Amino acid sequence: MIRSVVVAFSSGALVLALLSSVAPRLIDSDASARSCYSVWAEAQKMGSHYRHLVYVENDCEYWLQCSLWTDVDPQPPVMVSVGPGTTENRETSGSSQYGDPKAFGACHRK
């Protein structure tokens, strides 16, 4: 009985030690990604309505996977992969009455 408790405790301690060594790198990876990309929106007049585009500029040295949305069209977010040193855009709405959307995005290392 005591031996199984010691083994279980040792196994749990090993798992916690491994997780604590990996978790900071995962958090640092997301933090570094947030510091090297920018997101903005543009509304293009199309007759009586606007077309909304959200842009991502990737200044990271690695690929990003991003979820993009606007305050006008929050759901569903639009997904886009962005290569290092490039800018991509995606349409979030093809027919809106709003001419000044605010862009939002969340990117992580791909």
- Per-residue pLDDT reduced to its tens digit, 38-69: 999 999 999 999 999 999 999 999 999 999 99
Q: Where are the domains of the chain?
A: 2-109
Q: Supply the pLDDT for residue 87.
A: 98
pLDDT, mean of residues 22-38 = 59
pLDDT tens digit sequence for 65-78: 999 999 998 899 99
In whole angstroms, what is the distance from residue 16 CA to residue 55 CA? 40
DSSP 102: P
Bridge partners of 68? 78, 105
| pTM for this entry | 0.70
In the predicted structure, residue 37 carries a pLDDT above the cut 70: yes
Q: Decide: helix, strand or coil at residue 95.
A: strand
| Cβ-proximal residues to 58 (8 Å cutoff; 6+ apart), any chain | 36, 37, 64, 82, 83, 84, 85, 86, 87, 88, 107
Give the chain's mean pLDDT: 79
CATH 1.20.120 fits 2-109, yes or no: no
